[in-house]
Amino acid sequence: MEQKGRENWGSRIGFIMAAAGSAVGLGNIWRFPYLTGENGGGAFIVIYLGCIIFIGLSIMIAEFAVGRRTSLAAVGAYKSYSSRWTFAGVLGVLSAFFIMGFYPVVGGWAMAYIAKSFTGLLAAPEAVPDVFGAFIGGTAQPLIWMVIYLAINVFIVARGVAGGIEKAGKILMPMLYILLIIVAVKGITLPGAGAGIEFLFKPDFSKVTGQTFLAALGQAFFSLSLGMGCMITYGSYLNKQEKLPSNALIVTLMDTSVALLAGIAMFPALFAFGMEPSQGAGLVFVVLPQLFAQMGGIGVIFSAMFFIALFIAALTSSVSLLEVVVAYLMDQRKMERKPAVYGTAVVMAVLCILSSLSMGALSGVKLFGVGFFDFFDILTDKIFLAIGGMLLAIFTGWFVKKEDLKDELTNSGAVPFGLFEIWYNLIKYVIPVLIGIVAIMGIMAIEQTSLMIFGLLIIVVLAIFSNKL
Ligand code: PFF
């Protein structure tokens, strides 16, 4: 359909909302707070912000530049330079598959909690943690919600990511901000909230290990949708007038501010209720309902609105993940959009069933020492995305001509990009080395060594067979 003359974004704001829609997702509101809790609070946030500023932003600029330069999605963009690089794009497609092996499960939880807000969840605040545990450990319920969630993704992507999702983003992103601010204000004003603020903003570096760095780096990539070709794909639809560095900056700022807001919304309440900060994936589903329950009748509305916002944030991200795979199948495998979407979604659904059941019926089944959910999560977030980002940096710094990059980032000299030299040196020398160091430190510190080795092996195998891909 749109294979020849490539589609462009309707407007600047449309592109920013689509890219920010991809970036702002479960990573910000669900994952960032619980990772912060698990990794000791303020120190994790400082390292995370460092990763965003010095690595994430530069990689996003590079992804936009490569995408717009080639007008091709990830695999094609790499391949257009050299078939030896195809594997880096394919690694991205694989990452999209694996992230979609658990993301829709959590998206389904968010949907379920919209319904639960109205059906008595808030009436018994003490029972909230148990309700969550019983729900995700169940069989039929989380699976049904996951399938509904995935079906909505299929519905949207099968029609092309057109006006609908962009428009939704334009309305719902501001709504998300407003809701988070209201919830944060409510949390901060609870008695005993100060400890939460302190936990967030008073870094205690004694808790930092190699793993903290890897967790922060992986989260930076995950949250900004980097290291897997998503922003290459989105950049490929950009017109030549757009300024890439400033757009990347705006998307990065939006993403980071939502993550911090989510932290501020959650931790004061958590400490006020005397709960454990390191309770993992359930954090947002356990702390916030208890906060909403404190609000009286109106809490039901806030709860529903919050989980609707979480669902929407997730949706605009998972749509982009599905699109990465579909774009590959259409561009490189010459498939039609609809069969590509349906086929991809079926595989993703199977992965999600395994992930969901790993919280209950299949909790005994372990791959490299972890359940399916954690397997997909750790593999992508701790290994694939960071390595994918490193490959992109090496590719951009050493294989794309410097003049071409300058041309792309200054719109052929029409707009200034004063930081070009700094950016270029970061991409070419600093970032590959930094990611390399963090990856090695992380591998040495991580408990799941065999999983790390397995992940790296996949990358090596892909690299060896890249000519056949
Ligand atoms: N950035 C999304 C989030 O924070 O939830 C997740 C994601 C979307 C990761 C798209 C990677 C991607 F390509």
The owner of tokens 């969550």 is 132
**Per-residue pLDDT, 2:** 37
Query: What is the residue-wise DSSP string for 119-147?
Result: TTGGG-GGGHHHHHHHHHH-SHHHHHHHH
SS (H, E, C) 321-388: HHHHHHHHHHHHHCCCHHHHHHHHHHHHHHHHHHHHHCCCCCCCCCECCECHHHHHHHHHHHHHHHHH
The owner of tokens 């479960």 is 26
The answer, yes or no, to whether residue 137 has pLDDT greater than 60, is yes
Q: What are the residue ranges spanned by the domains of the chain?
A: 12-352
**Per-residue pLDDT, 169:** 67
Q: What is the pLDDT of residues 367-376, one digit of tens each?
A: 999 999 999 9
C-alpha span between 175 and 169 (Å, rounded): 9
Q: What is the pLDDT of residues 152-172, one digit of tens each?
A: 999 888 877 555 566 666 677
Q: What is the pLDDT of residues 413-447, one digit of tens each?
A: 999 999 999 999 999 999 999 999 988 887 777 67
18, 161 Cβ separation under 8 angstroms: yes
For 370, phi and psi rounded to 5 degrees?
-130, 160
Atom number, ligand 1, closest to the C-alpha of residue 96: 13
Q: Give ligand 1 pocket residues (Cβ under 6 A).
A: 22-23, 25-28, 99, 222-223, 225, 228, 230, 317, 320-321
C-alpha span between 66 and 54 (Å, rounded): 19
Atom number, ligand 1, closest to the C-alpha of residue 229: 13
* pTM confidence score: 0.93
Q: What is the pLDDT of residues 23-69, one digit of tens each?
A: 999 999 999 999 999 998 999 999 999 999 999 999 999 999 999 99
- Ligand 1, residues 157, 230, 385: which to mutate, most atoms within 8 A of Cβ? 230
CA-nearest residue, atom 13 of ligand 1: 225
The answer, yes or no, to whether residue 411 has pLDDT greater than 90, is yes
396 closest CA partner among 416, 425, 367, 373: 425
The answer, yes or no, to whether residue 310 has pLDDT greater than 80, is yes
**Per-residue pLDDT, 163:** 57
Q: If you average pLDDT over residues 449-466, what whole number do you get?
A: 89
Would you give the distance in Å from CA 212 to the centre of its chain?
Answer: 18
Q: If you average pLDDT over residues 335-357, what whole number do you get?
A: 96
- Higher-confidence position of 369 and 280: 369
Ligand 1 geometric centre to CA of 321 (Å): 7
What does the mean pLDDT of the chain come to? 90
Q: What share of the chain is helix, strand, coil (3-state, %, to 5)?
A: 80, 0, 20
Q: What percent of the chain has pLDDT over 70?
A: 95
Q: What is the amino acid identity at position 63? A: E
**What architecture is the 12-352 domain classified under in CATH?**
Orthogonal Bundle (1.10)
Identity of the highest mean pLDDT range in 201-210, 226-235, 269-278, 302-311: 226-235
CA-nearest residue, atom 11 of ligand 1: 225
Structure token digits, residue 29: 């509101």
